[in-house]
Amino acid sequence: MNTKKRIFWLGMHQVLSQTELPHLRSLGYEVFNPPYLSNIYDQSAVYDWSPPDSSLPKEALRILAGTNFFYDEIPPDAAEVLNAYFEAAIVTINPLWLVHFLKAYRGRVIYRTYGQPYSLANELINIGGLPLITERNDFWFMPHSEKVAGIEDEWLRSRMMVVPYCLTKDVTDLRDTWNTEAAVPELALLCPRVADIPYYSNNFRLLKRHFPARGYRIFGAQSIPVDDVQVVGTVERSELLRQFARMRGFAYHYEEPTVCYLPPIEFMTLGGPVLFKNGSLLSRYFPAEAPGRAGSMEDLVKRSEQLRKGDGSLSREIIESQAEVRKLYQPEFVWPLFDAAMTRALGEEGANRAPGLIYTPTATTTAPAAQTVLVAFHGFGPLIVHRDGKYHCAEGIARVVRQIVRGLSDLGFKIVATSRREDAGRVHGFLAPAASSDLKIMFVDDDISGSGKPMTAMRRLREIASTRPFSANVDHLKALYRSKNFKGMPRALVSTAAVAAFKVLRKAQQRLASVKLAIGVVPHEKYVDLINADAGIDHVLIPHYYMFPELSRLKDKDVVLYLPDYMPHFYKRSAEMGATRQSALIGKNLAGMARRVLTNSAFTASYLPETELAVRAQDIAHIPLPFLNDGSLSAETPETSGQLAKLPRHYVFYPTRSRPSKRLADFARTVAIVNERLEKAGSKDRLFGLLTTPLSGKSAGGAESHLVSLPELTDAELGYLYSNALCLLFTSEMEGNFPTQITEALHLGVPVVATNIPLITLELGDVSACLELVDVGDVDGFADRVMAILGDRATAVRRQKEAREAASRQFAYDNFKHGLSELFRR
């Protein structure tokens, strides 16, 4: 009787077939790896497959050996064999292979990856992998480096265990055999498949433009022969390593931050020096001052020439710096970590439980013990950005909702946030830190019913039409033509035509929906019916008065409408400020059905009953907002080598969107006036204005050269910019809410220069006199205050102490949470 744990290993890469596959067998597992039967050519694939030793029945072996597990859906007979005979599976590299496998196999799965230039989480969401992973126990995501996982969403990272991977034995056996004396005056470059893959064709042209034919050899397997003396082409592995060993160095020009090709690591292992371009994953392994780092292509060429001409000092310095990096791929470092990881992942059941991220509404009549609040959030999903491992959103309401979610979670409520499928990872990543394990995501997308390949293809084409520019299909057709892949052209032409048709249909549907809304016809969405039928959902928070018109069809739910302001009350003919009949009708419907209307400002509460929304005064709940930007107080300093690099010495800051009420022309004109005064006084100092929206032309007020736009900021970056600003320069003439910018500036000890408007004075009362308040439009007055702060910023900070202390009390998080408790538990 076989006592070994049987594992299905879905991989075909030449390196992995020589390293991880045999090593798994050496650990005592019986491992079956299928043949690569796909018609998609891959230069890294093993094609000479032979059946592995196996205790499987002959019929099971016959089925597995005849099934294409790569790129195709897994047929029922193969799925039956997988579930009957395998206790676990390891799927490598490709997310589509993984999704197909998860649909067919019910057992434990490890997804093993080695770096890729795109987000796996995003791709998995696009091809239906999110629910397959988040609802599945004993799933492991196993990337080779923490550095490649920063771009992934938290729902995938939460199932992660990092395990490095190993070089092949033929390379490690030659460790440190490279000899500078035996090397010829040539350097190695890397560019495979230059004739049939556009990405590599572009890289090939880049190399040809910067590196002369003499002295530089271009390595990499070529599926189509290339008539160029520099191109080594596809050669036997032993010959490749022999030629490698003759090079004086290796110049690695790629810049992908999450991909590192193996040849430069192999060359380091042989003992030779490797130059690398800044920004690549390889560069991220090294400290900033590493001697092999090149800041630009020109720098890479210059240093390459130094190595090629025999600069021994530079060569030795680079080689000495490489020890810690090349160690990451050596067997003595990798295998102990690999063994421990596999023992854990393939050992005790339930070691990696499913987070249960997806909420599926069910028709129930009994509510659960914990109250549940559904938060309509799918309108904000496309606005959320994932960068440097953090999630942020420039839309202020989304940040307010996150704070509401935090408060409700702290009060014991369960949270369900709506999202479209393609945005689910970002929505979860943005809200999860506030809600912890209390958050689930509900999809609002309508599925196309049906099954089988035709319906799956139609559904995929519709998704492409709604999310991808049509130019992507055209680019794909061009790539097929350039590579002479005429066999794939008919299918690509059909899918391109279908996508074009879907896009036309989608635009027509959007126009029709707009017409219906304009005449008061509320759209019908299936997800609203599902919410109505689910007694487990007690409350619904609608965070905008016109983004979710379909929610006016809610029935028997406790609805709270968040209404921070209603600017059309003051800008009655400005469509830019939201003054449209369509929006007003939607807002009036939602306000009429809501049990309570939540606002954060006493001023807003005072005028809402007078607006066309006809909000009942007794239904308004006024709960002041706390400080929103907890991320800015983190001890971690944000990355300052990117858009925060080389900040001006003196700058005023105003993070906001461009709206007529913001009077950003006053902001720009103030910067210009201050600089005119500085120049007249003979000072070399200049003031800059930092905004989160670009200004040009007349709006820039003659200050174009001193205005900087940073449109996408993480919370940490926002806090950093506040803390280093000369002051907040708040020029708005009207806000529907107490300005969060003032709350944040006071909280961080930043001087405030602002307009003297009721929103500020009513909310802060007498202590508002501590701020530098100026009449609306008085740019000379703004300039006077900025000049004074430029002369003595510390005094301005001390003068605002009372306002800061009052704001800390009035806008305390505990007060906010108490207000939410009264609002949702009444």
Rounded to 5 degrees, what are φ and ψ at 502? -65, -35
Q: At what angle do helices 779-791 and 664-680 cross, to 10 degrees?
A: 50
CA–CA dist 111, 98 (Å, integer): 7
Q: Of 353 and 217, which is predicted with more confidence?
A: 217
Q: Who contacts 137 (Cβ-Cβ below 8 Å, separation ≥6)? A: 349, 350, 352, 353, 354
Amino acid 462 reads R
Looking at every residue in the chain, the average pLDDT score rounds to 88
Amino acid 721 reads L
CA-closest candidate to residue 404, choices 434, 374, 370: 434
Q: What is the pLDDT of residue 473?
A: 60
Residues found in the chain? 826
Q: Which of 555-559, 631-635, 822-826 has the highest mean pLDDT?
A: 555-559
What is the greatest pairwise CA distance in the chain? 94
Interval 676-720: pLDDT, tens: 999 999 999 999 999 988 877 777 777 889 999 887 787 888 888
CA–CA dist 209, 402 (Å, integer): 50
CA–CA dist 298, 421 (Å, integer): 43
What the block records as the tokens of 517 is: 């809304």
Element (H, E) at 387: strand 384-387
Q: Are 800 and 794 in contact (CB under 8 A)?
A: no
Interval 598-648: pLDDT, tens: 999 888 999 999 999 999 999 999 999 888 765 444 434 555 556 676 789
Adjacency order of strands within the sheet including 651-654: 707-709, 688-691, 651-654, 727-730, 752-755, 772-774
Burial class of residue 87 (count of CB atoms within 10 Å of its CB; 0-12, 13-18, 19+): middle
Query: Could you please report the per-residue DSSP string of 418-460?
Result: EE-GGGHHHHHHHHHHHHGGGEEEEE-PPPPP--SHHHHHHHH
Please report the sign of the dihedral spanned by the C-alpha atoms of residue 659, residue 660, residue 662, residue 667.
Answer: positive
Amino acid 544 reads H
Q: What is the pLDDT of residue 652?
A: 96
Query: Could you please report the per-residue DSSP string of 116-178?
Result: -SS-HHHHHHHTTHHHHHHT-SSEEEE-S-GGGSTTS-HHHHTTB--------HHHHTTTT--
Residue for token digits 């049990």? 595
How large is the average pLDDT for residues 524-547?
92
**Where are the chain's structural domains?**
6-165, 169-329, 372-446+525-622, 453-518, 637-810
DSSP single-letter state for residue 568:
G
How large is the average pLDDT for residues 660-681?
94
Per CATH, the number for 169-329 is: 3.40.50.2000
How large is the average pLDDT for residues 532-538?
92
For residue 33, the tally of other CB atoms under 10 A from its CB is 24
What the block records as the tokens of 271 is: 């003992």
Does residue 156 carry a pLDDT above 70?
Answer: yes
Q: What is the pLDDT of residue 455?
A: 45
What residues are paired with 111 via a beta bridge?
A: 91, 141
CA-closest candidate to residue 252, choices 228, 216, 224: 216
For strands 558-562 and 414-419, give the pairing: unpaired
CA–CA dist 421, 564 (Å, integer): 28
Q: Cα angle at 43 between 38 and 44, to 5 degrees? A: 90
Distance of CA 356 to the CA centre of its chain: 21
Q: What is the pLDDT of residue 503?
A: 67
Per CATH, the number for 637-810 is: 3.40.50.2000
Burial class of residue 48 (count of CB atoms within 10 Å of its CB; 0-12, 13-18, 19+): exposed
How large is the average pLDDT for residues 463-483?
55
3-state secondary structure 24-57: HHHCCCEEECCCCCCCCCCCCECCCCCCCCCCCC
CA–CA dist 696, 387 (Å, integer): 27
CA–CA dist 541, 548 (Å, integer): 11
What the block records as the tokens of 658 is: 């461009």
| Of 203-212, 341-350, 394-403, 781-790, minimum mean pLDDT range | 341-350
Q: What is the pLDDT of residue 451?
A: 39
Q: Who contacts 409 (Cβ-Cβ below 8 Å, separation ≥6)? A: 415, 434, 435, 436, 438, 439
CA–CA dist 164, 326 (Å, integer): 12
3-state secondary structure 163-228: CCCCCCHHHHCCCCCCCCCCCCCCEEEECCCCCCCHHHHHHHHHHHHHCCCCCEEEECCCCCCCCC
Interval 194-217: pLDDT, tens: 999 999 999 999 999 999 888 999
For residue 90, the tally of other CB atoms under 10 A from its CB is 27
Q: Are 115 and 148 in contact (CB under 8 A)?
A: yes
Does residue 766 carry a pLDDT above 80?
Answer: yes
Element (H, E) at 490: helix 489-518
Q: What is the pLDDT of residue 629?
A: 67
How large is the average pLDDT for residues 747-766?
91
Query: Could you please report the per-residue DSSP string of 273-341?
Result: -EEEETTSHHHHHS-TT-TTEESSHHHHHHHHHHHHTT-HHHHHHHHHHTHHHHGGGSHHHHHHHHHHH
Residue for token digits 């939460």? 158
CA-closest candidate to residue 221, choices 33, 479, 13: 13
Distance of CA 334 to the CA centre of its chain: 29
Per CATH, the number for 6-165 is: 3.40.50
Q: Who contacts 306 (Cβ-Cβ below 8 Å, separation ≥6)? A: 314
What the block records as the tokens of 634 is: 């983190």
For residue 701, the tally of other CB atoms under 10 A from its CB is 21
CA-closest candidate to residue 142, choices 380, 56, 133: 133
Distance of CA 267 to the CA centre of its chain: 33
What residues are paired with 249 via a beta bridge?
A: 187
Checking phi first, is residue 49 left (phi over 0); if not, alpha (psi -120 to 50) or beta? beta
Does residue 787 carry a pLDDT above 70?
Answer: yes
How large is the average pLDDT for residues 360-373?
74
Amino acid 704 reads E
How large is the average pLDDT for residues 185-189?
96
Burial class of residue 436 (count of CB atoms within 10 Å of its CB; 0-12, 13-18, 19+): exposed
pLDDT confidence bin for 448, thresholds 50/70/90: very low
Q: What is the pLDDT of residue 365?
A: 55
Q: What is the pLDDT of residue 395?
A: 84
Separation in Å, CA 479 to CA 123, 201, 534: 21, 10, 49
Separation in Å, CA 120 to CA 45, 154, 472, 530: 21, 12, 19, 30
Query: Could you please report the per-residue DSSP string of 637-663?
Result: PPP-SSTTTT--SSEEEE-----GGG-
Q: What is the pLDDT of residue 461?
A: 53
Report the first-to-last Cα separation within the chain, whole angstroms.
65
Distance of CA 347 to the CA centre of its chain: 32
Residue for token digits 């990798």? 334
Per CATH, the number for 372-446+525-622 is: 3.40.50.2000
Residue for token digits 């680019």? 475
How large is the average pLDDT for residues 283-305?
96
Does residue 468 carry a pLDDT above 80?
Answer: no
How large is the average pLDDT for residues 228-254?
94
pLDDT confidence bin for 1, thresholds 50/70/90: very low
Query: Could you please report the per-residue DSSP string of 721-738?
Result: HHHHSSEEEE--S--SS-
Q: What is the pLDDT of residue 726?
A: 96
What the block records as the tokens of 724 is: 């280093």
Does residue 368 carry a pLDDT above 90?
Answer: no
Residue for token digits 């045999």? 22
For strands 384-387 and 390-393, give the pairing: antiparallel
CA–CA dist 141, 122 (Å, integer): 14
